[in-house]
């Protein structure tokens, strides 16, 4: 007789309702692919009594803790998000012998090691493809397809909300607030957009990607984070003048000696010729550079109910197969124990825009400060008007520490009225 695997679903919002729908409509396919019936055995929600089309009323419960402890549950799907109660529920599921499929980037980036250890202790799986870049397969390619290679760099657009806003600013000339308003109106930004626009969401994803790519532990706290709220229409225009576009990038890099890594999220200018430059709207894309594989790119919808559900379902099939085989998939791989270096050590190029007095000798003064701090200048563009002027300096590669010291010194110059913006230049 064919076995039945029972699934508890925690959360029935945008993603959860899609997971439930696909489990029902594709039940025959799932059965054929898993080799067992996969049954939705319970759905935990915060508030009962709402209409949930396609989800049988008798499956709904507000008691998530009891659901994950039910002895018949084989797999728990967690699409609630946030740290608690998700963390406690997942740990209860492990103790109960259930494998877990989670889309919870914040939790995994904050406390992934403890969760992986708990899963390993109880001999069950923790899968989380949906936590990074929605439907785009990234976790599995990084931890399985590239398991025999050495990844040196991961560079990606992993937040759809901010990409939508920056793309809107780029195509229409709108300012940040105006573009955010449109994103909110269209449902691309939440009522409180902080997690997206301040880069918290992207930083969590960067931590997860860096950990898997480099086989070491990286938490969200290790990731340098700068959001897009300070990006101005002038920055976008300045990027255009350089043949660039501004994107919020997550960048995870191995140092040249291979012994340390950095992980950071910030807006950056990238050349129009770079494949990431043409990633429009709320789409995501991630570049991976590995020793043997070379440059790979993965592109697709990074959020939304259906794409995220697709990733959850792929993981569900995998953990169900593992359950049937009495095995588990690859767990945490953190043997490399590399140091995570601070932002100061990151080496990149910079676009620095200064408001200066329109006087002879300003450029010489500014150039001297850059030179004194060991930051070599690539190009300078000077624009003057009615006694005021602006200087746009693009540097060669330098450390973040050297650039910060340079900027601090620039601010003390008589003729420098202000530092209008500093933006990193990547992808060259």
Selected binder of a copy of itself within 33, 153, 240, 274 (CB under 8 A): 33
Q: Residue 422's Cα: distance from chain center in Å?
A: 22
Kindly state the smallest distance separating residue 182's Cβ from a copy of itself, in Å.
22
Cβ of residue 129: shortest distance to a copy of itself, in angstroms?
Answer: 6
CA distance 141 to 184: 33
Tell me the H-state helices in 6-85: 14-25, 27-34, 64-69
Instruction: Give the separation between CA 254 and CA 209, rounded to whole angstroms.
Output: 12
Tokens of 356: 């200066």
**Positions in 206-225 near a copy of itself (CB under 8 A):** 215
User: Residue 356's beta-bridge partner residues?
Assistant: 389, 416
Query: Considering the rule CB under 8 A, would residue 137 count as an interface residue with a copy of itself?
Result: yes
| Closer by beta carbon to a copy of itself, 249 or else 422 | 249
Region of 108-116, 224-232, 290-298, 348-356 interacting with a copy of itself (CB under 8 A): 290-298
Neighbours of 298 (CB within 10 A): 16
Q: Given candidates 3, 13, 29, 381, which one binds a copy of itself under the rule CB under 8 A? A: 29
The stretch among 22-30, 88-96, 378-386, 409-417 that binds a copy of itself (CB under 8 A) is 22-30
300-339: which residues touch a copy of itself (CB under 8 A)? 300-301, 304, 306-307, 309-318, 321-322, 325-328, 330, 333, 335-336
Closer residue to a copy of itself (CB): 148 or 387: 148
Which CB, 194 or 295, lies closer to a copy of itself?
Answer: 295
Q: Which residue has the tokens 């396919």?
A: 29
Which of 118, 126, 119, 121 has the alpha carbon at shortest distance from 143? 126
**Residues 116 to 135 in contact with a copy of itself, rule: CB under 8 A:** 129, 135
Considering beta carbons, is residue 22 or 180 the nearer one to a copy of itself?
22
Least CB distance from residue 338 to a copy of itself, whole Å?
12
State both tokens at 239.
Answer: 């990027």
Cβ–Cβ under 8 Å, residues 204 and 103: no
Q: Which of 27, 11, 12 has the alpha carbon at shortest distance from 320? A: 27
- Give the binding range for a copy of itself (CB under 8 A) out of 46-54, 187-195, 245-253, 298-306: 298-306
**Is residue 145 a contact residue for a copy of itself (CB under 8 A)?**
yes
Q: Is 2 in the site for a copy of itself (CB under 8 A)?
A: no
d(CA 386, CA 50): 64
Closest CA to 267 of 254, 255, 257, 276: 276
Most distant pair of Cα atoms in the chain: their distance: 89
Q: Which residues are catalytic?
A: 205
Q: How many residues bind a copy of itself (CB under 8 A)?
A: 58
What residues contact 84, with CB distance under 8 A and at least 6 apart?
A: none
CA distance 350 to 421: 10
Token pair listed for 283: 């789409």
- As measured in angstroms, the least distance from the Cβ of 184 to a copy of itself is 22
**Toward a copy of itself, which CB reaches closer, 15 or 195?**
15
- Residue ranges in contact with a copy of itself by CB under 8 A: 18, 22, 26, 29-30, 32-33, 129, 135-137, 140-141, 144-150, 215, 275, 278, 290-301, 304, 306-307, 309-318, 321-322, 325-328, 330, 333, 335-336
């Amino acid at each position: 007789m064919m076995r039945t695997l029972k699934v508890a679903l925690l959360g029935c919002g945008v993603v959860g309702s899609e997971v439930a729908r696909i489990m029902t409509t594709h039940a025959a396919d799932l059965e054929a692919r898993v080799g067992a019936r996969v049954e939705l055995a319970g759905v935990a929600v915060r508030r009962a009594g709402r209409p949930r089309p396609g989800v049988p009323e008798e499956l709904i419960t507000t008691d998530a803790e009891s659901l994950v402890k039910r002895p018949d549950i084989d797999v728990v799907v967690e699409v609630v998000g946030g740290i608690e109660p998700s963390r406690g529920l997942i740990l209860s599921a492990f103790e109960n012998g259930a494998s877990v499929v989670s889309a919870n980037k914040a939790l995994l980036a904050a406390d992934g090691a403890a969760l992986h250890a708990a899963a390993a202790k109880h001999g069950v799986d923790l899968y989380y493809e949906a936590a990074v870049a929605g439907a785009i397969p990234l976790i599995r390619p990084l931890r399985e397809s590239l398991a025999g290679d050495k990844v040196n760099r991961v560079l990606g657009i992993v937040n759809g909300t901010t990409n939508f806003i920056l793309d809107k600013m780029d195509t229409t000339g709108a300012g940040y607030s105006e573009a955010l308003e449109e994103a909110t109106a269209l449902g691309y930004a939440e009522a409180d957009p902080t997690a997206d626009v301040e880069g918290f969401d992207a930083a969590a994803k960067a931590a997860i990607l860096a950990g898997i790519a480099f086989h070491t532990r990286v938490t969200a706290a290790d990731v340098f984070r700068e959001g897009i709220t300070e990006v101005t229409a002038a920055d976008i225009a300045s990027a255009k003048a350089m043949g660039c576009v501004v994107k919020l990038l997550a960048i995870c890099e191995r140092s040249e000696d291979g012994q340390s890594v950095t992980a950071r999220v910030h807006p950056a200018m990238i050349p129009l010729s770079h494949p990431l430059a043409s990633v429009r709207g709320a789409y995501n894309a991630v570049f991976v550079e590995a020793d043997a594989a070379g440059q790979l790119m993965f592109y697709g919808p990074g959020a939304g109910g259906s794409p995220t559900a697709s990733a959850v379902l792929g993981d569900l099939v995998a953990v169900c197969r593992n359950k049937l085989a009495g095995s588990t998939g690859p767990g945490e791989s953190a043997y490399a124990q590399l140091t995570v270096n601070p932002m100061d050590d990151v080496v990149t190029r910079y676009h620095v825009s200064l408001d200066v007095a329109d006087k002879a000798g300003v450029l010489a003064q500014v150039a001297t400060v850059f030179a004194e701090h060991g930051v070599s200048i690539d190009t300078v563009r000077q624009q003057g008007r009615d006694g005021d002027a602006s200087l746009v300096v693009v540097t060669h590669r330098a450390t973040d520490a050297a650039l910060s010291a340079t900027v601090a010194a620039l601010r003390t110059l008589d003729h420098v009225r202000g530092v209008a913006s500093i933006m990193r230049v990547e992808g060259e």
